Each structure stands twice: as C-alpha cells, then as structure tokens.
Copies of this chain bind each other. A is one copy, B any other.
Amino acid sequence: MMPSTGQASVPPGFRFHPTDEELLYYYLRKKVSYEAIDLDVIREVDLNKLEPWDLKDKCKIGSGPQNDWYFFSHKDKKYPTGTRTNRATTAGFWKATGRDKAIHLSNSKRIGMRKTLVFYTGRAPHGQKTDWIMHEYRLEDDTTEIQTTSL
C-alpha cells in the first residue's frame, strides 16, 4: 500500500487531473465518510489562514508542473448563527461568481454542486480582482467541501 499521508508519493509521469465526478464521488465522498483514500494526496487546509499563493507549496502533488491545487476545507460560518460563509484571508477575500453548476454521474444522477469563486485583494465591498479562481465542490446534503484553486 502507498503511505496514506498528505505527502503520498506519486510515481513519475503521473499528474493529478481529476474530473468533477472523481473529486466528488471518490475523494470527497470517502473523506466525509472517513474511508481510506488510495493515494491520499489532497491535504486539509484552513482556507481563512492561507492566501491563494500559499496553496502552491502546501498542496503540491508530485514533482511535475502544477496549475491547479486541491484541498479539503471546513466551511467557517461568518456568524455562529448565520448561513453566510466567511471567506476572508489576511490579504483579501473569495467572492462567488456566476451560477453553481450541478455535477452528475454518467448515468445522470446528480451527486453535488460546484461553486466558482474569485479572489480579491483588499476588503469587501472594495478590493482588487485577481486571476485566482476557486472551485468549491459540495455533495448533496453535506457541508464538507473539497476545493481546487487555480491561477
């Protein structure tokens, strides 16, 4: 068995390019049910404590060039009683853009949703838009998320 740590070793030549379906139905589903993941390459991070550019090192997989970084993160509520999510970091904040996209299995069963967010430096409602994009995946009826960031 391969070591089951965040720094699992990936054989040369392999790149992590999962489909939405693989992220949701394999990685996130196993994560929320505490099942073992074959090659456990997705790290847990606290998204409020990391800037997007910090994720490059933190979420490195293997030795190849990488333009997407994957991580698990718990949603942090802005107010204990509210439903709005606090997506601020020290340098800026993540802001949702566009519509959430439904993710279906090939047999057309809906398994979850994908939200797209953009990183702004500064403080809302001001702030300077950046090229950092995040996709946030959630399973139907669950609040644990898997997230990918790309520049």
Question: Contact residues of A with B, CB < 8 Å?
Answer: 1-2, 9-19, 22-23, 26-27, 37-39, 64
Are A18 and B13 touching (Cβ within 8 A)?
A: yes
**Ranked 3 nearest A-B pairs via Cβ:** A13-B18, A11-B38, A11-B39
Using Cβ atoms and an 8 Å threshold, which residues of chain B touch A14?
Answer: 10, 14-17, 39
Tell me how far the C-beta of A23 lies from the nearest C-beta in chain B, rounded to whole angstroms. 7
Are A13 and B2 touching (Cβ within 8 A)?
A: no
How many copies the complex holds: the figure is 2
Tell me how far the C-beta of A20 lies from the nearest C-beta in chain B, rounded to whole angstroms. 11
9 A-B interface contacts by CB (under 8 A): A10-B14, A12-B18, A12-B26, A12-B38, A13-B22, A14-B16, A14-B17, A15-B16, A17-B17
Using Cβ atoms and an 8 Å threshold, which residues of chain B touch A37?
Answer: 11
Using Cβ atoms and an 8 Å threshold, which residues of chain B touch A18?
Answer: 12-13
Other than the given A11-B37, A13-B17, A14-B15, 18 more pairs (CB < 8 A) read A9-B38, A11-B38, A11-B39, A12-B18, A12-B26, A12-B38, A13-B18, A13-B19, A13-B22, A13-B23, A13-B26, A14-B16, A14-B39, A15-B16, A15-B17, A17-B17, A17-B64, A19-B64
